[in-house]
Structure 1
């Protein structure tokens, strides 16, 4: 009797029954059922949905387009509402912190009186205010009587503010002249008012007279002062009064006011005359500037933009609109037509 080896080198094993299931009673064998792959089911379902969508699109393409458009618009509306709520919550948090820390020192004031600066006082003595050599003047400003016009603007701003206990007086103008050093137009005007004892209105005006020291042109005089008002009061002005030259009335009261969308009924302009020796030349020059602002209301293009860059010799960083977040869109807007977004005074 031979011994049969069953090791690795042994012959192939014999299968008593064919592969698959074998029915002992009937003697029949059946194929083994392969288990379904569970991972293929979602793919088949997606494929089926895709096929149905494709056939529906073939039959009703317009309906699919309208449904897709409606879905997209809905998503945009939801995102816009969400963004607005997040932004407003951020504004409220900032306002709450400021109110809690008492950082709105003029929360009771409601109206703005803005005096637009035109030069920088450079004399070491405040006793020479009405002399041209005490001010840094551009060539077109060097004529008799020019210094007196600056003094007139300061006096009128103080006078107007003294008649309105709810007004904040702002002198506006940045460090616009390199050779004048790091002195702002606004600080010059405030210092002149101080040296003059606020023209007899010190007790009623001085405590609510401040500066806006970044404006580089007339449009920024207005816009930046509105933002500065918001920084100091926590609200936006109900009424705005601008003091400058009489020949600039159209520029401020129409072009600049329209550019920021401020209501005409709450905007007032007080103009003083230019020096008689340059009155006609001033009107002619103003006509040219008005045309430029008509074409470029926000001074963000061409010659107006380049002029602003030249009036920032010390590269001062403009802090706005940090203090007036509701105007962020307006500050970043540049176009030939008025800003289309909502503003605090148009809501």
Structure 2
């Protein structure tokens, strides 16, 4: 209850409440009248505050949904923590790197003996990956990626693939990198004179340890390139199965709106795989289980393709790129459905490579 005016605390409320109108007539205002008058002022203030709160809520709601729908600016939405970057020291030799060479993983090498690298028992394989020279193809992908990176001093070699098998504690990417390292294949760059370890060369190779499918192999490798070098690539070369060429060049590249003129795919199948007994069945499997599903779900975030990601993530891991590649946050979140025009609707928001031609 609101307090009464000071004038009503006197012993003669009737005299104090007596008022004259301009015409000379007397009018007595009761306590009830005064209370109602003050209440109207209070209600007005309440309405103003409520309107301001509603406006603030709508503005914040619009900002919140601006990132997922891909139409909002990405700058400053996710600011990397200062304490995180305090542990990262990029050397000047990385400043001229602009070519991403990506090798997607398909299995996990668990061996340590280089001589036994072709032994299928030294790999964590799915049943359909046994036989047909699949292991030899994996090794050829690693060698081709490393050789190409050796030839281009402006390139960064990225092995991509997560911890996809419940029976292994390592990632596809790490096992590929380990095999390349033991084979003395990894490209290096001279150490910067200002480096704390001037005699130690800087590797031009790294791993991307979170991808769960081919779309994520490409997207996450771009993010890892940025995490490693501080910039986004100007060119991309992917080295993988020949039968997956169309999936990468026609679908994944298009989903990311990456310029076709700055994208190259090098396809390497196992020796004689096209003529091998399982060659045609492998190509049919790629068509039915890879290419066609992505034509209906460009970003792999619905139905069967989403279930594959869940199945390949038994250790419940998730990536760090929301922090290290904040410009891609909206793209990471893009999962078009009926509201956006269908599951094949291309991401419409700004991307760091929009300026490339």
TM-score by structure 2 length?
0.70
Within the alignment, does 1:189 sit opposite 2:188 as a pair? no
Q: Deviations over 1:160-185 (max 9, x none)?
A: 11121111110001111112x21111
SS in 1 for 2:324: coil
Aligned to 1:340: 348
CA–CA separation in structure 2 for the residues paired with 1:122 and 1:330: 34
- Whether the aligned pair in 2 keeps the contact of 1:104 and 1:231 (CA below 8 Å) is no
Within the alignment, does 1:216 sit opposite 2:212 as a pair? yes
The RMSD of aligned alpha carbons is 3.5
- Whether the aligned pair in 2 keeps the contact of 1:172 and 1:221 (CA below 8 Å) is yes
**228, 244, 255: which one pairs with 1:248?**
244
Aligned to 1:283: 283
**Judging changes above 3 Å, is the alpha-carbon distance between structure 1 residues 96 and 107 closer, same or farther for their aligned structure 2 residues?**
farther
**Judging changes above 3 Å, is the alpha-carbon distance between structure 1 residues 90 and 295 closer, same or farther for their aligned structure 2 residues?**
closer
Structure 2 unaligned spans of 5+ = 1-17, 45-54, 191-200, 337-342
Aligned length: 289
**178, 199, 202: which one pairs with 2:166?**
178
Structure with the bigger percentage of helix: 1
Question: Please, which moves more after superposition, 319-328 or 246-255?
Answer: 319-328
Question: What is the CA distance between 1:97 and its match in structure 2?
Answer: 8.0
TM-score by structure 1 length?
0.72
**Judging changes above 3 Å, is the alpha-carbon distance between structure 1 residues 331 and 239 closer, same or farther for their aligned structure 2 residues?**
same
SS in 1 for 2:75: helix
Q: Deviations over 1:40-66 (max 9, x none)?
A: 69979x99xxxxxxxxxxxxxxxxxxx
**Judging changes above 3 Å, is the alpha-carbon distance between structure 1 residues 283 and 326 closer, same or farther for their aligned structure 2 residues?**
same
CA–CA separation in structure 1 for the residues paired with 2:266 and 2:218: 14
**247, 261, 264: which one pairs with 1:265?**
261
Structure 1 unaligned spans of 5+ = 1-19, 22-28, 48-71
Aligned to 1:312: 313
Question: What is the CA distance between 1:341 and its match in structure 2?
Answer: 1.2
Within the alignment, does 1:88 sit opposite 2:87 as a pair? no
Which of 1 and 2 has higher RCO (CA within 8 Å, sep 6+)? 2
Written as runs of structure 1 = structure 2, the 5 A alignment for 1:228-239 is 228-239=224-235
